[in-house]
């Protein structure tokens, strides 16, 4: 669910701050904060929050920054 993070199409932008907010808040709350789609992707449902809300999958901001660093590293040679 939600926008892919491992391909070349960045639905909301690829800067680290936007990625952090997307994963933490989910796509609906991100758009409520004024972010808008920069690209289209075949997404069936909004991305739920992964680091806040009722179900916390990523338990710390330090861990999330490590994940974001890894995601961005997938694109280092492609940009």
Quickly list DSSP for 40-62.
----SSPPPPSSSSSS-SS--HH
Residue 46's closest CA among 27, 64, 59, 24? Answer: 27
Give the pLDDT score at 30. 93
Give the pLDDT score at 59. 81
Residue burial 33-51, b: 16+ Cβ < 10 Å; e: rest: eebeeeeeeeeeeebbbbb
Give the pLDDT score at 34. 93
User: Tens digits of per-residue pLDDT, 3-50?
Assistant: 666 667 788 888 899 989 988 898 899 999 999 888 877 777 788 888
Give the pLDDT score at 66. 93
> 25 near 49, Cβ under 8 Å?
yes
Give the pLDDT score at 9. 76
- pTM equals 0.78
């Amino acid at each position: 669910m939600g926008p892919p993070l491992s391909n070349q199409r960045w639905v909301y932008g690829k800067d680290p701050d936007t990625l952090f907010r997307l994963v933490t808040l989910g796509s609906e709350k991100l758009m409520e904060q004024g972010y808008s789609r920069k690209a289209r992707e075949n997404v069936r449902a909004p991305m739920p929050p992964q680091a806040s809300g009722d179900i916390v999958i990523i338990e710390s901001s330090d861990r999330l920054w490590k994940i974001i660093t890894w995601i961005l590293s997938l694109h280092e040679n492609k940009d």
